[in-house]
């Protein structure tokens, strides 16, 4: 069973092709700069000995349809192709950013689902239209394949109303659907499952805090396998300090900026989303550069690291309180997986909560799931590489198998 996973952006298509019989990646890549004068196509083939063959070429990619056709051509290439016939692809799994309140689980794409994704465009105006474009193009190129949507917001749909509702007039929720939705749900769901597997326990019997630290960052409190709170909110701007996003701020700040700095709404939006976070505090959104600058004595880099780790530590404490107990703390995504320094900052001083890192374990690099907690730590602390694309493929496979069972 081969499943193609697509993440369609406004000017790009990321893709991975999985052999779900053997749970392996066959190929991956990205078509970039769609609609520009010169597009970029990166294609990587994974071989059985873990060796990869990578090619990068420039070409004209006038629209998403052309981009996906070029990707298919690479998959079918006579010299390096990983499939012989397009019919080998059983299904296409699509990452869709926003499912709102109506689309709360992976689902086969039909006209009702497409209509619902369109209805949620006001909630994700930068992402859902691009996701829809990818769906429409894939349906035309793979008419034989099952099309499945997996939503970034789905894992957070178990959050109770007391956690997702804002204290604003209630009809704003009823009429405008203004509430906390949360994002990175596919990543949080994936690492929660991997944590349960590692610990040899059913996910329904575990309390976890999952920490996704990339350029975008979020946390989730997972009680008995279900998400009960997350740091991102109505948009991905809320919560943790991120690469260029501010995270939690006083809601009155935009009014102050408008009145005292003469900033427009668009300028404020740009400031909070693209010029804040680590970049705003010390001039760079690359955590590796921030840490390097700190070790070189840069005082603003130290401030950035302090603010960044303090916010995470504060949410660990808050989520411990609502969970009641903690079985496992999970770090994932680029920074979470690769920065021992940040992991140590976030967990230092949490011994009273039963959270203690082993410095030697933490400092060792490695692949796969790694345990970095000390022998005296009550909570298990894990580093788990996230794999949102594989999670989408897994969910798509489940739907295929369920449909077969019903026949």
Active site residues: 152
Write out the E strands in 173-277.
207-213, 217-223, 226-230
Residues 362, 343 contacting (CB under 8 angstroms): yes
Q: What kind and span of H or E run contains 151?
A: strand 146-151
Q: Which two tokens stand for residue 24?
A: 């392996």
Buried b (16+ CB within 10 A) or exposed e, 78-96: eeebbbeeeebbbbbbbbb
Largest CA distance in the chain: 66
To which residue do tokens 């086969």 refer? 108
Write out the E strands in 152-306.
207-213, 217-223, 226-230
Residues 367, 350 contacting (CB under 8 angstroms): no
Listing from the earlier edge strand, what are the strands of the sheet with 39-46? 52-59, 39-46, 24-32, 13-19, 2-8, 89-96, 146-151, 107-108
3-state secondary structure of 270: helix
Judged by phi (left if over 0) then psi (alpha if -120 to 50, else beta), residue 302 lies in alpha
Radius of gyration of the chain (CA): 22
């Amino acid at each position: 069973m081969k499943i193609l996973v697509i993440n369609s952006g406004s000017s790009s298509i990321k893709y991975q092709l999985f052999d779900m019989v053997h749970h392996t990646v066959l190929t991956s890549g990205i078509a970039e700069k769609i609609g520009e004068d010169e597009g970029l196509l990166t294609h990587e083939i994974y071989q059985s000995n873990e060796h990869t063959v990578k090619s990068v070429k420039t070409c004209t990619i006038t629209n998403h349809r052309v981009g996906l056709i070029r990707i298919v051509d690479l998959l079918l290439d006579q010299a390096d192709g990983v499939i012989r016939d397009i019919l080998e692809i059983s299904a296409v799994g699509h990452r869709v950013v926003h499912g709102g309140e109506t689309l709360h689980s992976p689902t086969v794409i039909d006209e009702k689902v497409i209509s619902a994704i369109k209805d949620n465009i006001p909630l994700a105006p930068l992402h859902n239209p691009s996701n829809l474009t990818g769906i429409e193009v894939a349906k035309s190129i793979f008419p034989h394949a099952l099309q499945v949507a997996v939503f970034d917001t789905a894992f957070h749909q178990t959050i109770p109303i007391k956690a997702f509702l804002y204290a604003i007039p209630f009809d704003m929720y009823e009429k405008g659907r203004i509430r906390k939705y949360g994002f990175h749900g596919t990543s949080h769901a994936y690492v929660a499952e991997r944590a349960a597997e590692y610990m040899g326990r059913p996910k329904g019997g575990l309390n976890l805090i999952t920490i996704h630290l990339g350029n975008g960052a979020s946390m989730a409190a997972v009680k008995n396998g279900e998400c009960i709170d997350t740091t991102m909110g109505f948009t991905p701007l809320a919560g943790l300090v991120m690469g260029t996003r501010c995270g939690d701020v006083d809601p009155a700040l935009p009014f102050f900026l408008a009145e005292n700095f003469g900033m427009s709404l668009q300028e404020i939006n740009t400031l909070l989303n693209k010029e804040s976070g680590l970049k705003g505090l010390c001039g760079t959104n690359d955590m590796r550069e921030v840490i390097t600058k700190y070790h070189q004595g840069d005082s603003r880099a130290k401030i950035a690291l302090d603010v960044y780790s303090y916010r995470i530590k504060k949410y660990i404490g808050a989520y411990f309180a609502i969970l009641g107990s903690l079985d496992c703390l999970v770090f994932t995504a680029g920074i979470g997986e690769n920065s021992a320094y940040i992991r140590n900052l976030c967990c230092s001083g949490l011994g009273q909560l039963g959270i203690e890192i082993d410095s030697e374990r933490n400092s060792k690099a490695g692949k796969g799931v790694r345990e970095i907690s000390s022998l005296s730590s009550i909570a298990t602390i894990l580093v788990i590489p996230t794999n949102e694309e594989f999670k989408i493929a897994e969910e798509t496979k489940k739907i295929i198998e369920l449909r077969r069972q019903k026949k």
